[in-house]
Amino acid sequence: MTLRIRIQKSEKNWLRFLFILILSLWTSGPVFGGISGKLYGTVTDEKTGDALIGVNIMILGTRQGTASETDGSYQIQNIRAGMYSVQIRMIGYQTVTFKDIRIHPDRKTRLDISMKEKPLEMEGVEITVEKPLIQTDITGTTYDIEARELVQLPIDQFQDAVGLQPGATYDGHIRGGKKREIFYLIDGLPAQDWIQGGSGLNLPQSAIEQISIQTGGMTAEYGNTLSGVVNVVTATGHDVPSVIIRADKDDLFGGTQVSHANEAEIALSGPIKKEKIYYFTAYQGLWTQTRWWQDMNRFFTSPFRQNANGIAKIDWLLPAGRLSMQCIYSLQRWRDYEFSWRFNLDGLPPRKQISLRPAIIWTHTLSKKTFYTFILGYHDLISKIGSGSMESFSPEPYAYDFYLQYIMSGKRSWWTETHQQVGMLQTHLTSQVHPYHLLKIGAQFNLTRVHSILRKMEPQMTYFGKPLVHEPLLNYSTEFDYTPRSGSVYIQDKFEAGSDRSVVQIGLRFDFLDPRAQRPAVELIPTEPGSYQEVVTEWVPAKVQTHLSPRIGFTMPLSDRSFFFVNYGHYFQYPLFEYLYSGLDNVQLRNGVNVLRGNPDLLAEQTEAWEISTRVQLVENLVGSITYFRKETMNQIDTKTYVGSNSRIAGDYGFAEFVNNPLGESQGVELVLKRDKGNFITGEISYTYMEAKGLSETENQGINYAQWGFPISTHMYYLSWDQRHTLKCDLGFKLPYGFHGNIVFQKTSGRPYTYFPSKDGFTPDLPEAHFLPNNRRMKGHTFFNMKIQKDFQLKKAFIGDPSQVTVYFDGRNLLNNKNVIWMDSSGRIGGELGDPAAYEIGRRMSFGVQLTY
């Protein structure tokens, strides 16, 4: 049975009741800012158990602290996520310093303290605090990765960490959703590519303090996401200066299973003014010839891909606040590789992406119970395909060989330059209005400019991949320049039910998007049998889209070693700007050259999701959990062709438009065993059973089916990323002689593909056979990655000597498994040409060294 909550415009009484209910809970639980958390607890006398009043609790390295109340309780709000030492002082008692206190974004950390009376000769003590086995105040599925854990993982960038989590596929689909449905945040601000989807920024490894990955149960402060949230908190400087230098190389010992990749990174941090102003800066560069270097060396000079990522920030600690100023920069330049172009690779256009995001973050503590955050940011993202200017671009037809297999001459007709500029303003207010309630409200406003110029001509293709060389090219050219506006308001409350540790979390979010565009009303007038002329009768202003998202979660203890939670919510994601605006330019419409047209009246995609989970401490240091989830997605985006079945779909004879139509659903069970503490081995083992179904896989599926003459599916089928069974082992370990590292092992079942064979590449072997998408499955995947490192602690003899040297080995796909990515409709891996890109990358091994000063 599926629980459904539908919000209709006519349900005004229900909405009024819900609003009043939330306001009535105003005297009520902790939900923190996206980059900060809370420390709380009680202070007692170790001998008598009596509450101690006026004990000083200080977070070292910050200006944050408090004193215990009359009942011994204390709380410190608005602590930036990270690892801290906390010092406890009181006259007549022994000073205690607790090390490795973890503060997580959007969560609380409890630290109860028993103080010992101090004889005159007693010195202070240090205590290392262990991470709690079960986080009892969360009502959704969340995974945290600390900085020191991140450096031990065999991954290239922080986005790769998504694929390591239970419920996610190895390539980043969370709980049956599309990869573009994940929302990325860096220090509380979006880091999205609003045209292509996914992350639009990258970071050096040393710049990351903590990553929080939510795969379910997102609270009301998170919007514009259907599948999950990745929240990155960046590192800051401290009173002790630090320098980190790292270098990595994968071809030290030669061989062909290399990418000739070279990576370098440097990070510097320290005080500008001790205990007040700090700086942090990090830069990372990657130069690689990619896995295709043997072919590409014949056309280009190395490197074929260059990445540069950097961050610079200053943090100013004030008595009642913190001012952070930062700038994040990413640059990518690369050359594509396609096997059918291997004899003419310089016919593929070069690519470049530049991303710049400055931001100012001000956090002000108004009282012990209330603080607010104000964020002002700007994100500038430029993407370019092709060289030179638009004026210098001229299509150069390319020619196939006799068998229509390889492209032997010419250039791909593709030139584009896209510019996204987003101004972002956010504010959040958090107040502990009652000992068991913390209320959070917030608002955000975005002003965006998207400017895109695209010149693209593509040949029509059969379903089997053969070009129709005698048919007219499909023209995807477009040009648009729009300034949409969007914003949101949310209210979030979390009620803690005192002694039984139950938590009820409820939130409501309102979002709007004003496309600020006009939609053409098109009439197709028959001119002759099978042909039509397109006439724009009028221009209709696009409507302002609004969305209301209720969220509710509940957790309760089943015993002193187990917890249960349930979560239900409505989630949404507005269409990418390409789907709103492509092809709406007046000149393009008048000339009738665009085959695919945007729709500024597209609705947001919506998901109803719920999950039920139980977490149990099985034995000492071992926690088990079982989670069931279900998601139903509506208003997914596809294309609809507005022409007769025997008409051309380009030029004056019709067009295809983005529309809301297809549905999708997914469900599954996640089983996890986790061990956070241990002398030899830690980590987690998980098994996920999951189903992902839908009526459409891609946003252009409708136009492709129209080309191929296939009917649109009316029954849900398993999507191509339906990874039914997944076994994962993510284990950290300690070895003799001071070596330590991490193993990532994944075993998955095969994914679907469509078997619809053809011998000649133009007609199916069985013309009368019914076309069934994804009717067969490929073989499963096996991955075995490992990273091993050893730290050498050094004594500094001279200024400039490193204090630690770390040497590491990073191995990917060490078993060299041939994991298949795709098969053609005849069941051939890599299709007719045996494209090696049909396999995941083979074994790669790199070696690196890091110096810490």
How far is residue 84's CA from residue 720's CA, in Å, rounded to a whole number? 44
* Residue 844 pLDDT: 96
Q: Among 19-33, 164-178, 251-265, where is mean pLDDT lowest?
A: 19-33
DSSP state of 167: T
Residue 17, domain member (yes or no): no
Which residue in the block uniquely carries the two structure tokens 């001279």? 798
Asked if 250 contacts 297 with a C-beta cutoff of 8 angstroms, the reply is no
Q: Is the pLDDT of residue 246 over 90?
A: yes
Return the ∠ at Cα 648 (arms to 642 and 649), rounded to 5°. 45
Taking residues 223-247, report their average pLDDT.
94
Burial of 355-387, coded b for 16+ CB within 10 Å and e otherwise, reads bebebebbbebeeeebbbbbbebbbbbbbbbbe
Answer for the pair 509, 552: CB distance below 8 angstroms, yes or no.
no
Q: How far apart, in Å, are the Cα atoms of 146 and each of 388, 395, 816?
A: 43, 50, 30
In the predicted model, is pLDDT for residue 630 greater than 50?
yes
pLDDT in the model for residue 588: 52
Which tokens go with 852? 């810490």
Q: Based on the number of CB atoms within 10 Å of its own CB, is 245 exposed (0-12), middle (13-18) or buried (19 or more)?
A: middle
> What phi, psi does 200 have (nearest 5°)?
-110, 10
Mean pLDDT, the chain, whole residue set:
87
Write out pLDDT tens, residues 739-767. 999 999 999 999 999 999 999 999 999 88
Q: In terms of domains, do 90 and 203 share one? A: no
pLDDT score at 649: 42
Res 227 pLDDT > 50: yes
- Is residue 739 within 8 Å of residue 791, measured between CB atoms? no
Q: DSSP character for 17?
A: H
* pLDDT of 799 higher than 70: no
User: Are the CB atoms for 739 and 733 separated by under 8 Å?
Assistant: no
- Residues 180 and 194: beta-carbon distance below 8 Å: no
**CA–CA separation, 535 and 757 (whole Å):** 40
Count CB neighbours of 637 within 10 A.
24
> What are the two backbone dihedrals, phi and then psi, of residue 707, each rounded to the nearest 5 degrees?
-60, -45
Mean pLDDT, range 220-237, rounded to an integer: 93
Q: Are 663 and 694 in contact (CB under 8 A)?
A: yes
Q: Which residues contact 8 (CB under 8 A, 6 or more apart)?
A: none
Instruction: State pLDDT tens for residues 60-70.
Output: 888 788 888 88
Shared domain for 158 and 198, answered yes or no, is yes
Q: Between 655 and 411, whose confidence is greater?
A: 411
Q: Is residue 136 part of a domain?
A: no
- Region 170-177: what's the mean pLDDT? 94
In the sheet that holds 208-214, the strands lie side by side as 142-146, 208-214, 228-234, 182-186, 189-190
Q: Are 151 and 47 found together in one domain?
A: no
Summarize the chain as % helix, strand, coil (round to 5): 10, 50, 40
Q: Which of residues 280 and 100 earns the better pLDDT score?
A: 280
- Residue 331 CA to residue 711 CA, distance in Å, equals 42
Contact 661, 633 (CB under 8 A): no
Residue 6: pLDDT band with limits 50, 70, 90: very low
Q: Are strands 36-45 and 108-110 parallel, antiparallel or unpaired?
A: parallel
Q: Do 522 and 565 have their domain in common?
A: yes
Instruction: Say how far apart CA 203 and CA 201 lie, in whole Å.
Output: 7
Query: What is the distance between the alpha carbons of residues 110 and 106, in angstroms, rounded to a whole number?
Result: 14
pLDDT for 648: 42
Task: Say whether both 118 and 245 belong to one domain.
Answer: no
Residue 576 in domain: no
Name residue, tokens 């330059």.
417
Contacts of 670 (CB under 8 A, 6+ apart): 141, 166, 167, 625, 626, 627, 629, 686, 687, 688
- C-alpha span between 627 and 648 (Å, rounded): 50
Q: Are 430 and 460 in contact (CB under 8 A)?
A: no
Cα–Cα nearest to 210, from 191, 190, 236: 236
Task: Write down the pLDDT at residue 264.
Answer: 97
* Residue percentage of the chain with pLDDT more than 90: 59
Mean pLDDT to the nearest integer, 462-487: 89
**Token representation of residue 95:** 């000073």
Taking alpha carbons only, the member of 77, 64, 83, 85 closest to residue 36 is: 77
Closest Cα partner for 604 from 7, 75, 88?
7
Closest CA to 553 of 531, 568, 534: 568
Highest mean pLDDT, choosing among 123-132, 315-324, 492-501? 315-324
Instruction: State the amino acid at position 809 in one-letter form.
Output: F
- Asked whether residue 684 is assigned to any structural domain, the reply reads yes
So what's the pLDDT on residue 163? 94
Listed residue (140, 139, 298, 306) closest to 214, CA to CA: 140
Tokens of 585: 């330019």
Q: What is the mean pLDDT of residues 151-179?
A: 94
Return the number of other C-beta atoms located less than 10 Å from residue 1's C-beta.
3
Q: 332-359, pLDDT tens digit by residue?
A: 999 999 999 999 999 999 999 999 999 9
Do 428 and 546 sit in the same domain of this protein?
Answer: yes
CATH of the domain at 710: 2.40.170.20
Q: Which helix (H) or strand (E) holds 373?
A: strand 370-385
In this structure, the answer to whether residues 209 and 109 fall within a common structural domain is no
CA atoms within 13 A on the CB side of 252: 12
Domain count, the chain: 2
User: Counting Cβ atoms within 10 Å, is residue 501 exposed (0-12), middle (13-18) or buried (19+)?
Assistant: middle
What is the domain-level CATH number for residue 55? Answer: 2.60.40.1120
Please say which residue of 76, 95, 128 terminates a domain: 128
Choose among 93, 134, 132, 92: nearest CA to 113. Answer: 93
At residue 339, φ and ψ (nearest 5 deg) are -65, -35
Examine residue 2 and state whether it is found in any structural domain, yes or no. Answer: no
Four-point Cα dihedral 591, 596, 602, 606, nearest 10: -170
Contact in structure between 689 and 660 (CB atoms under 8 Å): no
Last residue in a domain, options 69, 104, 128: 128
Q: Same domain for 110 and 166?
A: no
For residue 93, give its domain range: 31-128
What is the tens place of the pLDDT at every residue in 23-76?
A: 333 333 333 346 888 888 899 988 888 888 888 898 888 878 888 888 888 888
Mean pLDDT value of segment 262-280: 95
Measured CA to CA, the distance from residue 455 to residue 394 in angstroms comes to 9
Q: For residue 690, is pLDDT > 90? A: yes
The mean per-residue pLDDT over the stretch 456-461 comes to: 87
CA separation for the pair 565, 139 (Å, rounded): 6
Residue 654: band (very low, low, confident or very high) from pLDDT cuts 50, 70, 90: low
End-to-end CA distance of the chain: 59
- What integer pLDDT is reported at residue 60 of this predicted model? 86
166 and 106, same domain (yes or no): no
Residues 189 and 103 in one domain: no
- Of 164-173, 263-272, 531-540, least confident by mean pLDDT is 531-540
Query: Look-up: residue for tokens 């779909």?
Result: 649
DSSP 630-691: EEEEES-EEEEE-S-TTS-SSGGG--EEEEE---EEEEEEEEEEEE---SSEEEEEEEEEEE
457 pLDDT higher than 90: no
**Does 24 reside within a domain?**
no
Identify the pLDDT of residue 29.
Answer: 34
Q: Is residue 3 part of a domain?
A: no
User: Is there a contact between 572 and 607 (Cβ–Cβ < 8 Å)?
Assistant: yes
Cα angle for residues 695, 578, 359 (degrees, 5° grid): 120
Is residue 697 within 8 A of residue 716, CB to CB? The reply is no
Highest average pLDDT, of 24-38, 102-116, 408-422, 464-478, comes from: 408-422
**What pLDDT does 8 receive?**
40
Calpha distance 484→445 (Å, rounded): 11
123 and 188 assigned to the same domain: no
User: At which of 74, 97, 128 does a domain end?
Assistant: 128
**409 or 797: whose pLDDT is higher?**
409
Task: State yes or no: pLDDT of 463 exceeds 80.
Answer: yes
98 with 185, same domain: the answer is no
Q: Which two tokens stand for residue 804?
A: 């630690």
Q: Which of 116-120, 223-227, 500-504, 727-731 has the lowest mean pLDDT?
A: 116-120
Q: 3-state DSSP call for residue 771?
A: coil
Distance from C-alpha of 215 to C-alpha of 567, rounded to nearest angstrom? 12
Domain assignment present for 228: yes
DSSP letters, 416-435, are EEEEEEEEEEEEEEEEEEET
